[in-house]
Structures are given as C-alpha cells and as structure tokens.
Amino acid sequence: MKNKQDTKNLKSKLEKIVVNSGIGRLSALPGFTDKVLPEIIKELATITGQQPSPRGAKQSIAGFKTREGNVIGLKVTLRGKRMMEFLNKLNSIVLPRLRDFRGIDLKTIDAGGSLSIGLREQVVFPEILPENSKVNFGIQITVVPKSKSREESIELYRDLGIPLKKL
C-alpha cells in the first residue's frame, strides 16, 4: 500500500473480517466455564481489539457431548479501521511467524471471493506471550470482499499485500 488514498480505496473494497474460534473440544476440560472460557475470551479480545461474542450449539449432539445452548465457539466481526489494523498485523507480523510458510494457497479462496485462513495456535500473534498463555486454541480468519467474483478478489488480495502463492 502506497499512501492514505490507496488505503482508503482498498478499505472500501473489503466488507469485513470475521475471526472465529471453535472451542467445543476444550469444553471437556475441568473448570471450563470458570477458568478456560474467560481466558480464551480475554486472549481473543486482545488479538482483535474487540470483545468476542459467544456462539451456542444450535442442537444437542450426543456423540460430541454437546447440549443445545452450550458455548462451542467465539466470533468477532471486524470492520473499518480495526479491520485494516488487523489485516496489516496479519500480513506483516503473524504470517511471517508461521513455520514453513510459503504463501497462502489459492484454493483457500472460494467462488464468492472470500479468503479463509486457519491458524493452529493463537501464540503466533505478538500480543500473546506463550509463557503466560494457559490454553491453546485455533483461530479461523475469513476476509470477505465486496466483489463477489474470485478473480477480482485475488487481485484485491495481491494489492492488499496478502502473500498468495503464484499460479
């Protein structure tokens, strides 16, 4: 990105960034609602700069030991200035910290143009200190553009500086 005008132009082409964390497996840990869940919420809020909203199970599934209404995930929707700050942090700090990172595969962009990135651990973010983190959880990041074609979205992601693999 070159200057403020280019940044505003590119920002207007992005609709939102959604950050999700599935925590259903962690609910089996002892003291989940008292100790683990608040810790996850605190770390996700630190990463995104916004309080996550808890997502409950829509139906009970005996095989997964979930009951309807139990918290199984957390979701944060970023727009505007926070969205661009998060995207810049993702491009410049987080993705280079990943082990054996060679770029994001173009297969992660769907037909609608949304880019989905999955991270196994939250400790790749600079705000999280591994020695102070009590629990590890994965994060799913989805970048949603306003353009709904895959080709336009790929071009937009390259302009934003997202490290995509070559064709």
| Domains contained in the chain, number | 1
pLDDT at 4: 54
Residue 167 lies in a domain: no
- Within 10 Å of residue 26's Cβ, how many Cβ atoms? 18
pLDDT at 10: 65
Question: 164 near 106, Cβ under 8 Å?
Answer: yes
Q: Which domain holds residue 74?
A: 4-160
Residue 30 lies in a domain: yes
Question: 13 near 147, Cβ under 8 Å?
Answer: yes
- Within the chain, what is the greatest distance between any pair of CA atoms? 54
Residue whose structure tokens are 């700050």 = 85
Residue 165 lies in a domain: no
User: What is the CATH number for 13?
Assistant: 3.30.1440.10
pTM: 0.83
Residue whose structure tokens are 């005008």 = 5
pLDDT tens digit at each of 167 positions of the chain = 445 555 566 667 888 999 998 886 776 677 777 777 888 888 889 888 899 988 877 777 777 666 776 777 889 999 888 998 898 888 888 888 888 888 888 888 888 888 898 888 888 888 888 788 788 888 999 999 988 788 888 888 888 888 888 76
Distance separating alpha carbons of residues 158 and 45, to the nearest angstrom: 28
pLDDT at 141: 92
